[in-house]
Amino acid sequence: MIATVRTLLACSDNRFSITISDNVSTDDTVRELKEIKDDRLCVFSLDKKIPAYENYNQVIQFADANYVLHILDKECIDTEYLVDFIDFLEREKPNFGLVDIFGRNTTERFCKYSKGVSSILNGGGRGDTHPSGFYYRKDLYSLEYERIKPIIKDGNLWVLDIVSAGLGARYDSVVYYKPFITYNKSEILSGKTMSPYTDKTIYWYGGKRIDSLKLFIKTIITQNEIGRIEKEHILYSMLEGHLLNMVWTQVVFFQDKQRCNHYGIETRKIKAKESINWMNCMIKDFCKEVKYSIPLRFLKLSIIYVKGLRSIALLNRTK
């Protein structure tokens, strides 16, 4: 984090600031941050530890800005692209969106999505995209967070996805396809020690994806701005996205070792039996929550299930 902050502050542009909410950390990071003398850096230390989703909201409320960009990972940010992104915000005045979708940023561009199905599935994500960051008009974020707070009261890592999905029902979104958040190449080249893998921490762990899907379902079902047919399309797309995410992400990681280094983790290949069990649990929970299109349900779920099995087969062939 320190290196990332110093790199950003080396940029001469004064149209941005960096806001950090320290959630009762135990290392020297806060001390080192406070030694940096720059008015664009604001560090807040919480008195007591709070759930991650609350801290996501807290840091955005701390920020003194019209737009907020929430960076999810410990990555390096190209300051030239950061300046371009600020220009983009001032020029286009978007409502919210995603930045730097992994694997899809080979062409520098931005894509607009109309409110409703398109904005929810692209700007909010359907469970199978992993952006490097989420950006929002701060006022819109605050209003939507208050609306969904009862839904996420148990705490969930995907609160930003949920906020974006809710906003997508009422606002257009813009996805900024530009490789402006990059791998930390110095750490990769130095052979950084990997953190131990645990099922409780890695994001494609089946239980976490099921919890995430349930929150997406509750968010979409409670939207009065979209009709039943649209909701049905969105929900089945989200089921497919979450289901394939549990498996497909692992395929990508095994084929691209750089990403394991980038995240600083070790990983394990989940066995086919385990993957199928998670897939069955996800579909079962989906059927409990979603009652639309009963006559077509078997066909739709069968197609998604077959796609899941194909992904599991591919994973188990991956070395």
Q: Between the CA atoms of 65, 69, 70 and 75, what dihedral angle is there, to the nearest 10 degrees? A: -130
Question: 139 with 96, same domain?
Answer: yes
Q: Are residues 301 and 211 in the same domain?
A: yes
Which of 158, 182, 206 is a domain's end point? Answer: 182
Is there a single domain that holds both residue 141 and residue 203? no
Phi, psi dihedrals of residue 69, rounded to the nearest 5° = -120, 120
311 and 234 belong to one structural domain: yes
Are 79 and 201 in a shared domain?
Answer: no
Residues 170 and 276 in one domain: no
User: Based on the domain organization, do 77 and 146 belong to the same domain?
Assistant: yes
Do residues 75 and 149 both lie within one domain?
yes
Q: Which portions of the chain are predicted below pLDDT 70? A: 72-78, 100-107, 125-130, 154-158, 178-206, 246-270, 293-295, 315-316, 318-319
The tally of domains found in the chain comes to: 2
Q: Which residues are CB-contacts of 106 (< 8 A; sequence separation ≥ 6)?
A: none
Asked if residue 29 belongs to a domain, the reply is no
pLDDT at 83: 87
> C-alpha angle with apex 274: 242 to 309, nearest 5 degrees?
60
State the CB neighbour count (10 A cutoff) for residue 48.
Answer: 6
- Which pLDDT does position 270 carry in this prediction? 66
CA nearest neighbour of 212 among 201, 204, 200, 223: 204
Q: What's the confidence (pLDDT) of residue 129?
A: 61
- 51 lies in the same domain as 169: yes
How many CB atoms lie under 10 A from the CB of residue 52?
12
Q: How far apart are CA 186 and CA 53, in angstroms?
A: 30
**Do 288 and 209 share a structural domain?**
yes
Do 156 and 223 share a domain, yes or no? no
Q: What is the pLDDT of residue 114?
A: 93
| Residue 23 contacts residue 50 (beta carbons within 8 Å) | yes
The H-assigned helical ranges of the chain are 2-9, 29-34, 52-62, 79-92, 117-118, 138-148, 159-168, 185-189, 206-221, 228-255, 257-263, 272-289, 294-317
Answer whether residue 136 is part of any domain.
yes
- DSSP-assigned letters across all residues of 108-120: -EEEEE-TTHHII
Based on the domain organization, do 225 and 307 belong to the same domain?
yes
The domain boundary, picked from 153, 182, 211, lies at: 182
- Domain residues for the domain of 209 are 196-317
